Structure 1
Amino acid sequence: MASDESNSHHLVRPRIHIGTGKGIAIGPGKIDLLRAIAQTGSIAAAARTLKMPYKRAWLLIDSLNQGFGRPVVSTASGGKEGGGTFLTPLGENLLERYTALEQRINDASSQEIKALCDLADRLPE
């Protein structure tokens, strides 16, 4: 077996979807978008990075803003600094908490993921 096949479990990670029961749904798409906004300083640039239509990106952010009852992303227009989009303290906290949860789940599930990938690697071609 080639070494890249035996290490395939390193590429497999669980994806977490959280529904709060209060109309807030948090998952990989929204979190990836928040990460991209934090990196690019722009909803449009973040959407391009994720190959997502701008309208979809805006709707995802709006659903988080509505769900939490306050903004997770804020925009500043023009001016001397050129404006931009940034995560609010709530958005930063949401991203930080989700990332920490994701890491804990990945760490705790690594043995099971390796075992599942090993089973898949044994399947006939």
Structure 2
Amino acid sequence: MARLKLKLQLYCDDEVAMGPGKADLLEAIGREGSISAAGRALGMSYRRAWLLVDQMNRCFRKPLVETRPGGGKAAGASLTAEGEAALSAYRTLSARLAGDTQCTAFEDLESAIRARPRPRPRE
């Protein structure tokens, strides 16, 4: 049986404003309370996580993540109301698209796909 995997990406000009990895990063920031801890939880460097946050904040009309610089308990990052709304809308749309496979086009493709790929020819 074929498996359908959709990768929803929203673009701002030529930049990916939101995709599955950025949605995961937003969730991790909300859970961990900092960009560095979110990056660690997802196995990415602080720099990579920060660059992704910066890209999202530049692409959306209002920032999705706000940072609180400094040290101690007051420092960190959190999702703005817009960030929470964007994450929720993205997850809802992704789930809707992934669940909407009951159509003739998908059934046609599914019936045309083999259960397993043919072996590669020997060279």
**TM-score bracket for this pair, using the shorter chain length:** 0.7 to 0.9
Cα pair 1:33 1:46 within 8 Å, conserved: yes
Please report the TM-score for the alignment, with normalisation by the length of structure 2.
Answer: 0.74
What RMSD, in angstroms, separates the aligned Cα atoms of the two structures?
Answer: 2.8
**Runs of 4+ residues deviating >6 angstroms:** none
- Structure 1 residue 88 corresponds to structure 2 residue 71: no
Q: 1:23 to 1:14 in 2, by over 3 A?
A: closer
- Say which structure is richer in helix: 1
The SS at the match of 2:37 is helix
The separation in 2 between residues aligned to 1:109 and 1:65, in whole angstroms, is: 33
The SS at the match of 1:109 is coil
Partner letter of residue 119 of structure 1?
A: I
The separation in 2 between residues aligned to 1:53 and 1:120, in whole angstroms, is: 39
Structure 2's unaligned 5+ residue stretches are none
How many corresponding residue pairs?
Answer: 114
Partner letter of residue 121 of structure 1?
A: A
- For residues 36-47 of structure 1, the aligned pairs below 5 Å read 36-47=28-39
Q: Decide which of 93, 99, 120 is 1:101's aligned counterpart.
A: 93
Partner letter of residue 115 of structure 2?
A: D
The SS at the match of 2:78 is strand
Partner letter of residue 83 of structure 2?
A: G
Cα pair 1:22 1:67 within 8 Å, conserved: no
Please report the TM-score for the alignment, with normalisation by the length of structure 1.
Answer: 0.73
Identical residues among aligned pairs (%): 37
Partner letter of residue 17 of structure 2?
A: A
The SS at the match of 1:85 is strand
Q: Decide which of 6, 12, 15 is 1:14's aligned counterpart.
A: 6
Q: 1:23 to 1:51 in 2, by over 3 A?
A: closer
Q: 1:68 to 1:22 in 2, by over 3 A?
A: farther
Q: 1:65 to 1:105 in 2, by over 3 A?
A: same
The SS at the match of 2:100 is helix
- For residues 1-125 of structure 1, the aligned pairs below 5 Å read 9=3, 13-21=5-13, 25-76=17-68, 77-78=70-71, 82-83=73-74, 84-109=76-101, 112=106, 116=110, 119-125=113-119
Partner letter of residue 45 of structure 1?
A: A
